[in-house]
């Protein structure tokens, strides 16, 4: 294989047909931005939803007079339920500490006794099971109900679930959009490459006449497609990263309870095998190469 | 070098390209292919290059039976055949040097040999001064000489020329023809399809005349027209 020759053929033709090259690079760039943007947005929603789901928690306040033994027995009983993921005990002291954290210690420092009840935080596997699980605690003797009510059991019910449903819907929409845009990107690349090859079909004809084998003709086009795809995808992936990072930064500084997720770059470990953005870039290159091969096919039939 | 045995070629719409054509061209011969447009000259050349498949009959080129030659081997066949066309068929984005070098790159010639052979052949066709020009920067006659250089740089055993002088003025045409004769003297078989009556008459080489796809004359040291032409000039 004459790597040097093929490479210089490919680079030379990229330079000569620079208008077409620009068009192809921009096409890949836009496709990558859309695809990458959808993926980043989708992942953020995913994480948001997961953390919301984690917050679907039932607070069970217990009477002050319960013995530690009773508490332990309750905890084990709840843990045994198949729907329950985790149970945390919040002691009276802990409850007071948390309360002080939110309102400030000057409010509580003169209290003669600690008025806050101890509680259990029950986390369930699935937000849909909240009602069922909560209902089991209403009449438990350990629960600190105001007589005549069931206020010893607290959970954020309907709003949270409606929000989760919406996020679920958006999430599916995101995946659908991802697939549509991926297909669109492939079609755009192959159309662009086909156009540039159509402009050079005479060249291909002459190459065949001189006795060039199909692969000899193909390599420069494949390399050309790869380089085009790679450049477009790298630019696109970088833009996505920068915007993603900037938005996350802005969110962190302005809305303190919301945190956006930024895909780590590959050297930061974690994430996809190579990190999302290098994967996108390589994908762009491979798609470009495949586009080059596919588009050449009809000019290489004997 | 070239053997046609009862070859017929009928195109899709029933158009006859070649009909029951039989002939034999030996090694080192110089042959003119004459006949009006549509008489089958181009069909013949495309069949030799295996750009077309015959409807019937057998074709041998340089000892290869084209009927049993697989598509993958076709490039190897073409490397043994130099081609010159009326429209030159040069790569428009490559310089004179690169166009000739391309034929050598294709066969995997080492870089060192390319650097030696290309200037050699360019000086043979008299284009040493135009090495770095692009095809559109030089005249038609010069472009045709580049095309001859490219066809011959591999020293193929067979050289086909389809109307090589069709697009250039008569004086330049003589130069091209002399080039082909010189190539023929090195032992290369040369087949020239042409309309150029004067040229054929002057050269007195073997003439194959085609009419409506049939071979109507095969004459050693022939002229463009039949000896019994109604004009009676040569009779």
pLDDT in tens, B31-86: 999 988 888 898 999 999 999 999 999 999 988 999 999 988 999 999 999 999 99
Output B163 or A127, whichever has higher pLDDT: B163
Output the CA torsion sign for A35, A40, A43, A49. negative
pLDDT score, position B187: 93
Task: Indicate if the pLDDT at residue B161 is higher than 90.
Answer: yes
On whether both A127 and A255 belong to a single domain, the answer is no
**CATH number of residue A77's parent domain:** 3.30.70.3040
Question: Residues A139, A243: one domain?
Answer: no
Are A172 and A28 members of one domain?
Answer: yes
Q: Is the pLDDT of residue B22 over 80?
A: yes
In whole angstroms, how far apart are CA B77 and each of A61, B64, B69? 91, 8, 9
Q: Do A211 and B77 lie within an 8 Å CB cutoff?
A: yes
Q: Quick one: which of B51, B47, B52 has its CA closest to B5?
A: B47
pLDDT score for A113 = 82
Q: Does A69 share its domain with A117?
A: yes
Mutate which of B48, B90, B93, B146 to test chain A, going by most A C-beta atoms within 10 A? Answer: B93
Residues in chain A closer than 8 A to B81 (CB atoms):
211
Distance of CA A181 to the CA centre of its chain: 16
Helices (H), B36-162: 41-48, 74-79, 96-106, 111-124, 140-152
State which of A111, A128, A155 marks the end of a domain: A155
State which residues form the domain around A137.
56-155
Q: Which chain A residue shows the shortest CA-CA distance from B77? A: A211
Q: What six digits make up the tokens of B211?
A: 């009419």
Total domains in chain A come to 2
Same-domain pairing of A91 and A117: yes
Q: What is the pLDDT of residue A261?
A: 62
Residues 142-161 of B with CB under 8 A from A: 150
A173 in the same domain as A47: yes
Nearest CA of chain B to the CA of A4: how many Å? 11
The answer on A140 and A76 residing in a single domain is: yes
B232/A contact by beta carbon, under 8 A: no
- From residue A284, give the alpha-carbon distance in Å to each of A187, A232, A291, B68, B226: 13, 7, 10, 42, 65
pLDDT tens digits for chain A (302 residues)?
578 888 888 888 888 778 878 888 888 888 888 878 877 777 777 777 777 666 678 888 888 888 888 888 888 888 888 888 888 888 888 888 888 877 776 767 777 888 888 888 888 887 777 888 888 888 888 888 777 777 788 887 666 667 777 777 877 887 787 777 767 767 776 777 677 777 778 888 888 888 888 888 888 888 988 998 899 989 998 888 888 888 877 777 776 555 556 665 544 445 444 567 788 888 888 888 887 787 787 777 65
User: How many beta-carbon pairs under 8 angstroms link A with B?
Assistant: 51
Question: Which residues 6+ apart lie within 8 Å of B39 measured at CB?
Answer: B210, B211, B212, B213
- Nearest by CB to B93, which of A16, A211, A216? A16
Residues A113 and A246 placed together within one structural domain of the fold: no
In a shared domain, residues A195 and A293: yes
Contact B91 A203 (CB under 8 A): yes
Higher-pLDDT residue of B29 and A1 is: B29
Give the number of C-alpha atoms closer than 13 A to the C-alpha of residue B116, restricted to the C-beta side.
5
Provide, as residue numbers in chain A, all residues whose Cβ is less than 8 Å from the Cβ of B71. Answer: 302
Could you tell me if A166 and A284 lie in one domain?
yes
Q: What are the tokens at A285?
A: 């290159």
Residue that terminates a domain, selected from A130, A155, A180: A155
Q: Where does a domain end: A132, A155, A178? A: A155
Decide if A210 and B106 are in contact by the 8 Å CB cutoff.
Answer: yes
Nearest to B153 by CA among B173, B124, B133: B124
A181 shares a domain with A48:
yes
Helix, coil or strand: residue A11: helix
Residues A85, A9 share a domain: no
Average pLDDT over residues B139-159: 94
């Amino acid at each position: 294989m004459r790597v040097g020759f093929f490479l210089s053929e490919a680079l030379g033709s990229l330079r000569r047909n620079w208008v077409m090259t620009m068009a192809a690079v921009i096409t890949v760039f836009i496709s990558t931005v859309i695809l990458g943007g959808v993926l980043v947005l989708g992942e953020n929603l995913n994480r948001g939803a997961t953390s919301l789901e984690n917050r679907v928690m039932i607070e069970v306040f217990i009477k002050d007079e319960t013995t530690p033994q009773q508490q332990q027995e309750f905890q084990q009983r709840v843990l045994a339920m198949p729907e329950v993921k985790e149970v945390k005990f919040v002691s009276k002291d802990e409850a007071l500490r948390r309360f002080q954290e939110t309102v400030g210690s000057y409010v509580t420092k003169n209290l003669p006794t600690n008025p806050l009840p101890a509680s259990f935080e029950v986390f369930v596997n699935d937000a849909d099971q909240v009602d069922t699980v909560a209902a089991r605690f209403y009449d438990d003797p350990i629960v600190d109900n105001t007589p005549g009510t069931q206020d010893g059991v607290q959970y954020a019910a309907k709003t949270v679930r409606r929000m989760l449903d919406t996020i679920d819907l958006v999430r599916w929409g995101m995946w659908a959009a991802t697939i549509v845009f991926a297909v669109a990107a492939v079609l755009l690349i192959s159309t662009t490459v086909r156009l540039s090859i159509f402009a050079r079909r005479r060249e291909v004809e002459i190459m065949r006449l001189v006795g060039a084998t199909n692969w000899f003709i193909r390599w420069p086009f494949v390399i050309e497609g790869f380089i085009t795809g790679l450049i477009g995808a790298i630019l696109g992936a970088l833009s996505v990263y920068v915007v993603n990072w900037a938005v996350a930064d802005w969110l962190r500084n302005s809305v303190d309870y919301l945190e956006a997720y930024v895909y780590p770059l590959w050297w930061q470990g974690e994430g996809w095998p190579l990190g999302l953005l290098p994967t996108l870039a390589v994908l762009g290159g491979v798609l470009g190469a495949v586009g080059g091969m596919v588009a050449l096919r009809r000019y290489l039939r004997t | 070098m070239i053997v046609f045995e009862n070859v017929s070629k009928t195109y899709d719409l029933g158009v006859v390209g070649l009909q029951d054509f039989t002939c034999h061209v030996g090694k080192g011969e110089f042959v003119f292919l004459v006949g009006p447009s549509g008489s089958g000259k181009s069909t013949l050349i495309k069949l030799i290059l295996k750009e077309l498949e015959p409807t019937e009959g057998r074709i041998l080129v340089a000892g290869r039976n084209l009927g049993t030659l697989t598509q993958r081997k076709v490039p190897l066949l073409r490397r043994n055949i130099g081609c010159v066309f009326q429209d030159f068929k040069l790569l428009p984005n490559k310089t004179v040097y690169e166009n000739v070098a391309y034929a050598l790159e294709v066969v995997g010639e080492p870089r060192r040999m390319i650097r030696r052979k290309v200037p050699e052949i360019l000086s043979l066709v008299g284009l040493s001064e135009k090495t770095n020009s692009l095809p559109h920067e030089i005249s038609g006659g010069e472009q045709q000489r580049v095309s001859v250089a490219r066809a011959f740089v591999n020293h193929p055993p067979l050289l086909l020329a389809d109307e090589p002088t069709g697009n250039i003025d008569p004086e330049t045409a003589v130069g091209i023809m002399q080039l082909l004769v010189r190539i023929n003297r090195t032992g290369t078989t040369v087949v020239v399809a042409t309309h150029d009556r004067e040229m054929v008459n002057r050269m007195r080489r073997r003439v194959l005349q085609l009419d409506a796809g049939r071979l109507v004359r095969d004459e050693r040291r022939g002229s463009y027209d039949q000896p019994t032409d109604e004009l009676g000039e040569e009779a």
